[in-house]
Amino acid sequence: MVVTAVPYLRPGAGLVQAEQWQVLGDEPQALPALLPHWDYNTEVQVGRNVVVDIAAIRHACQFVDDVPLKLVAAWSSPGSFQRGVLCSLCPLPQHEQVVLRGSLNGGDVVSSVRIDTLLLLGASNIDPAPLSPMRAGSVLWRDSATVVVEGTGSRFPIEVIDFDSTAWAPRGAAWFLLWNPFDVDQPFLGAVRLFINASHEQVVRAATTASTESSTVAIRSAIYFDVGRALLRGGLANPDFVADPDGFPRGTTGHAIATLLRTTFPGESVLELRNLLKERPEYFDGVLQAKFNLFQM
Amino acid sequence: MAFCRQSSISFRCSHVLLFPQIPHQVAAHMTETLRRLDVLDLAARASIAHPEAIFTATGGTRVSDEKLRNLRDMLLEQATTHGYPGLASEEQRGQFDTLASVGLHTRMQIAPSEAAKRGIWEFMTCVLAPDIVRWRFPGEGGGTSSERFLTGRRNTFQRLWWRAHVMRDDLRQDNCYALIALLGEDEIVQIMERPNLAGYRRLTAHVGAGLLSAVERHREMPRRILIREVQKHLLRLSSIVMFDALEEEQLHCLTQELYDQVVAAVSGNTGSST
């Protein structure tokens, strides 16, 4: 988990009270975790009520009275690389409920959208007290809500097809992981797919059922190892990934690989792992066997 | 009760076009052959259709055959003006990129969410204009690199569309795509290869304009160092500053300040921390 150490004072918990996001309309309802039937023409109006204890926040951050505060609702979609502001309010009224309201548009969003509500320093703090925030836009408080707009998002994408009926799948193979290691910015669920050869009945069974027969478990272990190895090797061979493994938004292939790396090799340097793979690839594969508990049933 | 004002540069989809997409496995298979063929052989293979092409199911109008032909004709004309099918100089290739960026962004009329569909770009490179890919990135003896055909940051047309989208400055009345022509390839890559920052379109416009201004004021400073170091500063700030919420003047001041800090640090004067 990445933790950001903020170099300035921030207000404590409870000084910003924000209600749950609502989908607005004739009958407002709580913003769900999944919005189905999403396409480019979709436009969803969302809103929430927020109360800000301005006096307490000014005291906590050591602001003088004329330093403005700004409340902003912003959206971002890792699938489309787009982001923007739903709405903003500055200056904030004292002890008054604020309504944040805006539209999420289908043309901007792919796969999921994150809505951040942020309390910000509205302008540069010209004569700040020590440790008082000074840059315009400095984040004092935030919360986030994420909505999936396509698919259910939780399972590894698997598809069973007859490899002999295609020109691109390796004939006779038991499975084939299709993905593009050069393009780790793409949403994981759209960009990575495990194809299982329909003519391999045992492999189909292992990949699509929860059977606990020893042969099925062994096949599943082999698939898990092979997929994990492919993703890790691909990521470590991609200079863009190695240069900034934590720079990929949630939901992208890069983020999934970074997460897999952290859980497989906790605390280890990506550069050192890249070097190990480069210099001793056979040893790296052996290490992965142990890490993924290959055939340990 | 106070209400906030809505402020968002957002894509409105009244006339969204849907482009054909080919499955990645098909593109990968095709690329193995395409990347080594002669430019004119590929021109003969170029097509506006593919039997395995699919479309996004809803939300727009399928692009017409005529529009696809026109798109190919536009790219071909731009390439021909800059040396196609012969070997082009670096300057010619750069000029093609600038023209093609603007042309693709203005002619394709696709939403960012459609542009994020990788199959569209693999259709463009593997089906519609493989010859132009091969010409633009001839590669060494082994042919064009696969990554120029396949989806990703280095796909020949995907990179051009996105740079036009990110670097379009809607506040410029005269030419909203001016930055693409004024910045060099290395500088554009510095911007585009940091997707965490490139998503802030207004910030990107100020970073680009700020570079041009900084170069005027500090002619001795290498451009690539200026933009690289400013991007690093912005990346560090991005976790504690909300760039999207800044007004235009605030963005201008921020980028100017960072460029001045970089110059001072590189010149060996007293620098201040971010």
Strand B2-3 relative to strand A97-105: parallel, antiparallel, unpaired?
parallel
Residue with tokens 């999936």: A148
The answer for residues whose C-beta is within 8 angstroms of residue A186's C-beta and 6 or more apart is A79, A180, A252, A253, B116, B118, B151
The answer to whether A70 contacts chain B (CB < 8 Å) is yes
Which of A161, A160, A157 is closest to A188 using CA atoms? A157
Q: B143-200 pLDDT, tens per residue?
A: 999 999 999 889 999 999 999 999 998 888 788 999 999 998 989 988 888 877 888 9
pTM higher than the cut 0.90: no
Alpha-carbon Rg for chain B, nearest whole angstrom, is: 20
Contact A196, A159 (CB under 8 A): yes
Beta bridge partners of A73: A87, A117
- Bigger pLDDT: B81 vs A91: B81
Q: Find residues 45-74 of chain B whose CB sits inside 8 Å of chain A.
A: 56-60
The torsion angle over the Cα atoms of residues A114, A115, A119 and A125, rounded to 10 degrees, is 60
Closest chain A residue by Cα to residue B200: A83
Q: B242-252 pLDDT, tens per residue?
A: 999 999 999 99
Q: Find residues 130-169 of chain B whose CB sits inside 8 Å of chain A.
A: 146-147, 150-154, 162
Contact A142, A117 (CB under 8 A): yes
The answer to whether B91 contacts chain A (CB < 8 Å) is no
| ipTM of model | 0.82
The answer to whether B240 contacts chain A (CB < 8 Å) is yes
Which of B139, B140, B124, B166 is closest to B9 using CA atoms? B166
The answer for residues whose C-beta is within 8 angstroms of residue B251's C-beta and 6 or more apart is B202, B203, B206, B243
Please tell me the predicted confidence (pLDDT) of residue B2: 55
Q: How far is CA B163 from CA A80, A120, B17, B193, in A?
A: 14, 29, 19, 10
Contacts of A97 in chain B (CB under 8 A): 1-2
Q: A130-181 pLDDT, tens per residue?
A: 899 999 999 999 999 998 886 444 456 788 888 988 888 899 999 999 888 8
Backbone angles phi, psi at B21, to 5 degrees: -125, 145
Residue B105 host element (H or E): helix B90-108
Q: Give the whole-angstrom CA distance, residue A61 versus residue A202.
A: 63
The answer to whether B16 contacts chain A (CB < 8 Å) is yes
Q: Give the whole-angstrom CA distance, residue B184 versus residue B161.
A: 16
Q: Using the predicted structure, report yes or no on whether residue A37 has a pLDDT greater than 80.
A: no
- Identify residue B130 by its one-letter amino acid code: P
